[in-house]
Structure 1
Amino acid sequence: MSYTAFGVSGVQRRMSSRTEHRGIYVDQAALLCSKGCDFYGNSTWGGLCSKCWREENQKARAKQIEEDHALAERLQREEEAACAGSNQGAHSGNSSTRLSKPEEKRNSQKSRTVPTGKKFFTTLAKTTLGRDVNVPSQPAPTTSISQQPVADSDQATRQFIDFLKTLQKPGRDIFKQCHSFCYSVSYKKDLGAEDLSESVQDFYQNLSDRLHNVYKGSPERVEAIMDEVERYITLQLYEQAFCPESADDEVKDLAIQKRIRALHWVTVQMLCAPLKEEIPAVSDSLDKAITDIIEMDSKRVPKDKLSYVTRCSKHIFSAIKRSKREAASADDFLPALIYVVLRANPPRLQSNIQYITRFCNPRRLMSGEDGYYFTNLCCAIAFIEKLDAQSLNLNPEEFKLYMSDQASPDRPQAPGISCPSSSSSRSGPRADRPENDLIDWGDGVEASVQDVLEGLQLDSCAPSTSAIDSDNVDSEGLPPPLQPQVFAG
């Protein structure tokens, strides 16, 4: 994945002489579409929003089809000219000789069965741009929908039908189109990830346009229907759409997981994130944020995955607010989000990002809080992938030692726990003298125990005997019932 839109060039470390605050921040303008349409851009779409990307992609495809069409026509003309020349040479001695009827019949059948380049590419253009969803006639596929868990598929269908019942006739038409589309796509076993994404996005767009004509003046109703359409389609196509074999999502998952694992030593202070983890409420909010970003992988619908990104982000803002005791700013959010991602190391992170990008309702990524938080998450991943010593205000030697696990930075200590060796160097390898350090620590403990024993003053007194019948000079002040009685033996 390229991060040309809001990648590391847009994520910078602020080190201004005008202010004491230092930290990682992203230029908010870098989050928007590179064509300046005020929607959020996406790195997968070259920094464009979904609307601009579709327009550019359709232009590129139309241009490619025209070029292919022109090439096919040129090749056909050359082939016809070559055939005409060979036929003229073969029959130059008898130009008036007519072809026999069997030969005429064979040539006629050939001309009808072999499509011309013009016909072929015209059909291709209609199929590519129109996304024909007619059900093919070949046998049922052995993969995709037929291999999905039956319970999930049936439950999604029942919920979708229950929702569409409230729409009456439009609901029946919507279900028919969605079911036909999913059934058609399930046959395209060799369809690449990007082609599948484009097919789904085209279907979203076409259906949304039709719904806006039916429900004029009710955009909220259209969005609610499109949310259910997205849920039904993505649940039906999940096995085919999530982390497909035709894409390198799994390779990217392993790469970012390994990268995050190698950066386990990065601290809040290095990122200049305004978080005070020693405050219980802050620690609790961070734990919830980590849980949410991990739980994203358990969801199958892009909208649900995106909602967990939003929940995670809101917990981060809550942690920042409790740490600063004031409202959090956008500049505070990104470094804190990077820290949460590093601590969580979410499973299949890149696959989830790609799945949301490819199959989520594009309007949700273009604007609103979901789009803003998702765009920042992409920025955080871009920063983690390119993080270096300068990004963390470290010298290259320190960074190299930390990355190789030969050293570890000093971290804040938990209350009540003291470090045996507080004079250890921050940048020096801890493993240089492990045996000597252990011996020194043992000697120190032994000396401390000896000092304690020597300081104790043990009084060795003989045990006192009880004089029950002796005269008690202090008993005169006692009330009569408590005064001791002396009896003569």
Structure 2
Amino acid sequence: MYSFGVSGVQRRMNSRTERRGIYVDQAALLCNKGCGYYGNLAWGGLCSRCWRDENHKARDKQIEEDHELAKRLQKEEEAAYAGSNQGAHSGNSSVRQSKPEEKRNGQKSHAVPSGKKFFTTLAKTTLGRDVNVPSQPPPTTSINQQPVAESDQAARQFIDFLKTLQRPGRDIFKQCHTFCHSLTYKKDLGAEDLSESVQDFYQNLSERLHNLYKGSPERVEVIMDEVEKYITLRLYEQAFCPESADDEVKDLAIQKRIRALHWVTVQMLGAPVKEEIPAVSDSLDRAITDIIEMDSKRVPRDKLAYVTRCSKHIFNAIKKSKREAASADDFLPVLIYVVLRANPPRLQSNIQYITRFCNPRRLMSGEDGYYFTNLCCAIAFIEKLDAQSLNLSTEEFELYMSDQLSPDRPQARGVSYPSSSSSRSGPRADRSENDLIDWGDGVEAPVQDVLEGLNLKDSCAPSTSAIDSDNVDSEGLPPPLQPQVFAG
């Protein structure tokens, strides 16, 4: 999704005459469909609602095509079977089939599958609407005790909260418990299918709650927050960084990328913060701590809360640096700098987990959605960061990436700057060199006169002496152990 946002950033940076920095149009953060909600990288630049509509259309089309294919295959199989029976009866020596043979052929004809029934069942299972609980006990899994205790505590808190709703609360708990229990039998469910099931459940329950509590959307959102907490804590081991997804591979890739960019400074990003001010440095440290702490939480809403806290510390650092209110254009470069300094653990896994299992309304609007969208944009920028993004030449960028050059070590041994760099500092460097030569010529003559007046020629003559020359006992030692004469 954020390719358009990053390209917008690049276009703004191409004109070197403008003020330096990283910017993104706020419109580029919104859904591609123009619905007014925030888009998301995992949904191809669409908001949750538009993505679900597009995805359901694609699924319905695929199911319809599967139905047509199943019908065609069934007709072909029935025609082939009828042809084989007709050939057998038309022979001169046709033998009446025995009852066991007739029974087998009847079973074979009956075994032709019904395409409509099969794919309807498949669609329900895939979309997560098949929530019938099996009669057998749930499979045992080897998980540590901390998630179990946290899940049990969440269940008790969820029940205590729903008690205040009386009868609707009992119905909500029954639906949530049944849904989570059904998913424990679907261990082979892919990450996207599991996300689709959870999002379907959110949408269906939210629609029922809006019908129940008409005119009170705030109360519905409070209930949905508690529902999200209960479901995600129950499904955390299955939902976070699932084996069916490549989240771990993406984690390692972005971690390696951030390590390679350890040399990027505030000045290169054009970030309007002054780290030498103690209050600014403290705010940046708090922002770094918050973005790292995001990984310690298990509920998507709590992870988003740390993203929001991190962002507010960044705005505070900008305000203290500029001594005026921070703008949206100032925010993104500093956020990129904070992510580069923090290198948060399991960054992509956390982003994907929030995207898949968070209440979609929280990502579509509000300050949580805005800050999360900017974080995704910052990660996309880091992945595509190049020399042009930092107003560097290609040669300088490659030297920085290979650790031959760093901001603390301006020039490595045997490395020469490009002509553009030397031309920028040429006049000042030449003037400093001439001043140094003039100073040396003015000092050399007085120093020479002082040395001649001291008459140090005789006193400076070196004297030769042998170390341990008074040690007579060493004469009997074998050659390797005899003291060596040192003239110093």
Q: How does 1:269-284 map to 2 (within 5 A)?
A: 269-284=267-282
CA contact (8 A) 2:127 2:197 kept: no
Give every structure 1 segment of 4 or more consecutive aligned residues whose post-TM-superposition deviation is greater than 6 Å.
16-19, 94-98, 144-148
CA contact (8 A) 1:144 1:239 kept: no
Q: Using the alignment, how far apart are the partners of 1:242 and 1:338 within structure 2?
A: 25
Paired position in structure 1 for 2:318: 320
Q: Using the alignment, how far apart are the partners of 1:269 and 1:205 within structure 2?
A: 45
Counterpart amino acid of residue 248 in structure 2:
E
Change (3 A) 1:148 1:61: farther
Which of 158, 166, 169 is the matching residue for 1:168?
166
Q: How does 1:176-191 map to 2 (within 5 A)?
A: 176-191=174-189
Counterpart amino acid of residue 350 in structure 1:
Q
Q: Using the alignment, how far apart are the partners of 1:10 and 1:102 within structure 2?
A: 75
Paired position in structure 1 for 2:76: 78
Paired position in structure 2 for 1:419: none
Q: How does 1:257-276 map to 2 (within 5 A)?
A: 257-276=255-274
Q: How does 1:237-256 map to 2 (within 5 A)?
A: 237-256=235-254
Counterpart amino acid of residue 153 in structure 2:
Q
Paired position in structure 1 for 2:20: 22
Which of 375, 386, 390 is the matching residue for 2:384?
386
C-alpha deviation, 1:123, in angstroms: 2.1
CA contact (8 A) 1:5 1:41 kept: no
Paired position in structure 2 for 1:212: 210
Aligned: 1:288 with 2:286: yes
Q: Using the alignment, how far apart are the partners of 1:57 and 1:335 within structure 2?
A: 34
Paired position in structure 2 for 1:135: 133
Change (3 A) 1:106 1:144: farther
Q: Secondary structure at the match of 1:10?
A: helix
CA contact (8 A) 1:25 1:335 kept: yes
Q: Using the alignment, how far apart are the partners of 1:233 and 1:376 within structure 2?
A: 27
Q: How does 1:90-129 map to 2 (within 5 A)?
A: 90-93=88-91, 99-112=97-110, 115-129=113-127
CA contact (8 A) 1:41 1:366 kept: yes
**Structure 1 unaligned residues grouped into runs of 5+:** 411-423, 433-450, 455-489
Deviations 1:167-206 (A, max 9, x none): 1111111111111111111111111111110010001001
CA contact (8 A) 1:4 1:47 kept: no
Aligned: 1:309 with 2:307: yes
Deviations 1:117-157 (A, max 9, x none): 22211222333346111112455223388987321111111
Q: Using the alignment, how far apart are the partners of 1:62 and 1:145 within structure 2?
A: 37
Counterpart amino acid of residue 85 in structure 1:
G
Q: Using the alignment, how far apart are the partners of 1:180 and 1:234 within structure 2?
A: 14
C-alpha deviation, 1:109, in angstroms: 4.2
Counterpart amino acid of residue 328 in structure 2:
A
For this pair of structures, how many residues does the alignment match? 418
Which of 223, 233, 236 is the matching residue for 1:235?
233
C-alpha deviation, 1:405, in angstroms: 1.0
Name whichever of 166-175 and 127-136 sits farther off.
Answer: 127-136
Q: Secondary structure at the match of 1:188?
A: coil
Change (3 A) 1:147 1:113: farther
Which of 46, 50, 66 is the matching residue for 2:48?
50
Paired position in structure 1 for 2:354: 356
C-alpha deviation, 1:409, in angstroms: 1.4
Q: Using the alignment, how far apart are the partners of 1:179 and 1:135 within structure 2?
A: 10
Change (3 A) 1:5 1:305: farther
Deviations 1:29-63 (A, max 9, x none): 11110011111000110000000000000000000
Deviations 1:233-261 (A, max 9, x none): 00011011101111111111111111111
Calculate percent identity across the aligned residue pairs. Answer: 86
Q: Using the alignment, how far apart are the partners of 2:219 and 2:109 within structure 1?
A: 52
C-alpha deviation, 1:102, in angstroms: 3.3
Q: Using the alignment, how far apart are the partners of 1:328 and 1:171 within structure 2?
A: 44
Change (3 A) 1:95 1:230: farther
CA contact (8 A) 2:283 2:316 kept: yes
Paired position in structure 2 for 1:429: 412
Paired position in structure 1 for 2:37: 39
**Structure 2 unaligned residues grouped into runs of 5+:** 416-446, 451-488
Counterpart amino acid of residue 286 in structure 1:
L
Counterpart amino acid of residue 429 in structure 1:
A
Q: Using the alignment, how far apart are the partners of 2:16 and 2:113 within structure 1?
A: 71
Change (3 A) 1:15 1:184: closer
Q: Using the alignment, how far apart are the partners of 1:84 and 1:181 within structure 2?
A: 45
Counterpart amino acid of residue 285 in structure 2:
D
Q: Using the alignment, how far apart are the partners of 2:153 and 2:375 within structure 1?
A: 31
CA contact (8 A) 1:13 1:24 kept: no
Q: Using the alignment, how far apart are the partners of 2:94 and 2:155 within structure 1?
A: 69
Deviations 1:1-24 (A, max 9, x none): x64453x22333634879752110
- If the length of structure 1 is used for normalisation, what is the TM-score? 0.81
Change (3 A) 1:200 1:130: closer
Deviations 1:400-451 (A, max 9, x none): 11111111114xxxxxxxxxxxxx7x3x21588xxxxxxxxxxxxxxxxxx9
- If the length of structure 2 is used for normalisation, what is the TM-score? 0.81
Counterpart amino acid of residue 81 in structure 2:
C
Change (3 A) 1:356 1:369: same
Counterpart amino acid of residue 412 in structure 2:
P
